[in-house]
Structure 1
């Protein structure tokens, strides 16, 4: 068999393998292998996820979480607060591939540009008026103004934001297709660590003085 034929054979084999891969490999989190697996954080065991609490110790309280009932404290620089309900706070979510968050906004409050590396998010606006959007990998902006009852979806791992442009407080709830979606806010991720100034100067088209000024704001 010639080199060209061997290459085609390898490519066909790879395509067949990918096509036959389990659907779970395409999901945000792996599919569960049992009815439930309430996270047991007392073991100290570190795995890709969390070990299961013994089934005979599981109660209905493990599947109930009240952490999103109360408004978050928006007395901060962003005038907004995200209250998470991931597997870390709500162990009953373990292996179920879902989590939630409450986002409270004071007037003018901002959930700054950030991303969730492991999840797509659907945002439901309950109160107020939000300017929301995300940026695609070719730097196209998809943004709109949300009214109460409307939904907006932020695709997985894309930078997105929400800004309260209404005349009063705003409240939204996010639902994510990962038990532990992660949240990385862009500005502090770049200006809090000790990244070489030249990287930031060239990356943002700014001078060293401006880099130092921005870094100071995130290192207080």
Structure 2
């Protein structure tokens, strides 16, 4: 019995040593290489500097997107290589009056939204088609479960700002409107799957850059 206990303890210790040997403090993304499902390869840790762990791109709004009257400023791995492998990221949203972030999903992450200026109406739709909507003011937060369709709208008459954090450094993004109307999916198919008439489909394709 003692020999069995000793053997088990020895195996456990060896396993722990192997696991610890494989653990790295960090993996700064080498953006010159390809992105894989498990992230980017690491640049040599000996070449790391403090600037690899600092991102200043959220100080000011990003370029305005006229169609949605808002700007979206990401701090994902592609913008902030130090996030690679850390399982976290950020996004800044700046809304003009009537600004909107249309229905979209992040397949790879849950989202935590924090309003820092103005009012934002935020909501998501569950897989049971239950709708959850709330009007958030400065200091309020809302969690968006992973992979669910959701949106944000400026809920007041003035500019609004919010920051979103994600449970992944690469949360992914698919905007429903562009997925349907911003590509080459034939109009006759779209009319069947969306129950829209030909004029509506063509109008949306024209607005969102679709063809066919």
TM range (shorter): 0.7 to 0.9
Q: Out of 193, 210, 216, which is 2:200 matched to?
A: 210
Find the aligned partners of 2:192 and 2:147 in 1 and give their Cα distance: 24
Unaligned ranges ≥5, structure 1: 1-31
Find the aligned partners of 2:154 and 2:96 in 1 and give their Cα distance: 7
- State the match for 2:84 in structure 1: 94
Q: Out of 83, 103, 115, which is 2:73 matched to?
A: 83
Find the aligned partners of 2:64 and 2:156 in 1 and give their Cα distance: 15
- State the match for 2:135 in structure 1: 145
SS of aligned partner of 1:65: coil
Q: Residues 41 and 165 from structure 1, CA distance in 2 versus in 1: closer, same or farther, beyond 3 angstroms?
A: same
Find the aligned partners of 1:80 and 1:201 in 2 and give their Cα distance: 29
| Alpha carbons 2:30, 2:81 under 8 Å: kept | yes
TM norm structure 2: 0.84
Query: Any idea what the Cα deviations from partners look like across 1:2-52, whole Å, max 9, x if unmatched?
Result: xxxxxxxxxxxxxxxxxxxxxxxxxxxxxx93110001122x345331011
> Is the counterpart of residue 51 in structure 1 residue 41 in structure 2?
yes
Alignment of 1:22-171 (within 5 A): 33-42=23-32, 44-48=33-37, 49-74=39-64, 76-171=66-161
Query: Any idea what the Cα deviations from partners look like across 1:56-95, whole Å, max 9, x if unmatched?
Result: 1001100000000012333511111110000010000010
Alignment of 1:10-29 (within 5 A): none
SS of aligned partner of 2:191: helix
Q: Where does structure 1 differ by over 6 angstroms across 4 or more consecutive aligned residues?
A: none
Q: Out of 159, 183, 191, which is 1:201 matched to?
A: 191
TM norm structure 1: 0.81
SS of aligned partner of 1:210: helix
Q: Residues 57 and 176 from structure 1, CA distance in 2 versus in 1: closer, same or farther, beyond 3 angstroms?
A: same
Query: Any idea what the Cα deviations from partners look like across 1:154-194, whole Å, max 9, x if unmatched?
Result: 11111100100212100000000011111111101111111
Find the aligned partners of 1:65 and 1:87 in 2 and give their Cα distance: 11
| Alpha carbons 1:83, 1:103 under 8 Å: kept | yes
Q: Please, what is the CA RMSD of the aligned residues?
A: 1.5
Q: Residues 103 and 193 from structure 1, CA distance in 2 versus in 1: closer, same or farther, beyond 3 angstroms?
A: same
Q: Out of 168, 173, 176, which is 1:183 matched to?
A: 173
Deviation at 1:206, TM superposition (A): 1.4
Unaligned ranges ≥5, structure 2: 1-21
